[in-house]
Amino acid sequence: MKRIIEICANSAQSCVEAEAGGASRVELCAGIPEGGTTPSYGEIMTAKQLTSQIDINVIIRPRGGDFLYTNAEVNSMLLDIHLCKQLGVHGVVFGCLTKEGDIDVPLMKKLIDAAKPLSVTCHRAFDVCRDPFKALEQLIELGCDRILTSGQQSDAFKGIPLIKKLVEKAAGRIIIMPGCGVRDTNIDQIERETGAVEFHTSARSVIQSQMEYRKEEVPMGSNAVSSEFETVQTDRKKVSRFVYGLEK
């Protein structure tokens, strides 16, 4: 049986790989080391041009860090949502909290209203909110289509107990989608124990640079990386294992 798999895609090419592997949807992001930030116009448009069957959801997150946003950041988010509507993507992904750790209901409503008729997912801002059950009801009332969550743990496997309760309390009113640390080695158990029907994963492999001339001692960023000559990209074979449960 084909599972509903959403791939966290870090590029247009990763969207191509996700589609080839049989995924139902991608969450297109830049800034993966920061937990995902809004991709560029060019990346979104190229992903649209290179795919035809897969739904593309775009993360709307102007920066890494917390989910308490300034007026300038909110304006940027609204403009990015408008761009996504113009480009005809399937949906957008965002989450906003108050300084007290609750869902920022007025701001979420503003963004959701701006996004209509696109599908809306609340991302893992949910995992750092104060009261997940209160937040669940608020997001249902706001009209979100799904919640991406690790069960407020470091990964979804550890979060199974809370995810199970959320699925039960949601009772079909919103989709609870486990994500973070969903592997082909644990997805069966997560599915069985939580009752979830959609899953979020990366299914990436390391891609080696084709550069022949290399200056290894000159990094391009401040973050520690294993090599400037390695990138990661969604792997269609890994996607297929999640979707169809094929033998490794």
Band of the pLDDT at 227, cuts 50, 70, 90? low
| 143, 109 Cβ separation under 8 angstroms | no
The CA dihedral of 87, 123, 235, 213, to the nearest 10 degrees, is 80
Mean pLDDT computed over 108-127:
97
**pLDDT reported for residue 211:** 87
Band of the pLDDT at 248, cuts 50, 70, 90? very low
Q: Where in the sequence is the domain holding 60, given as residue range(s)?
A: 4-244
Residue 79, φ and ψ in degrees, nearest 5: -65, -40
Please tell me whether the peptide bond between 161 and the residue prior to it is cis, using omega within 30 degrees of 0: no
**Residues 170-194: tens digit of each pLDDT:** 999 999 999 999 999 999 999 999 9
pLDDT above 90 (res 225): no
Q: How many structural domains are present in the chain?
A: 1
Band of the pLDDT at 2, cuts 50, 70, 90? low
CATH of the domain at 52: 3.20.20.380
Total-model pTM: 0.91
**pLDDT reported for residue 222:** 62
| 139, 149 Cβ separation under 8 angstroms | no
Nearest-angstrom CA–CA distance, 19 and 88? 17
**pLDDT reported for residue 216:** 80
**Residues 28-87: tens digit of each pLDDT:** 999 988 899 999 999 999 999 999 999 999 999 999 999 999 999 999 999 999 999 999
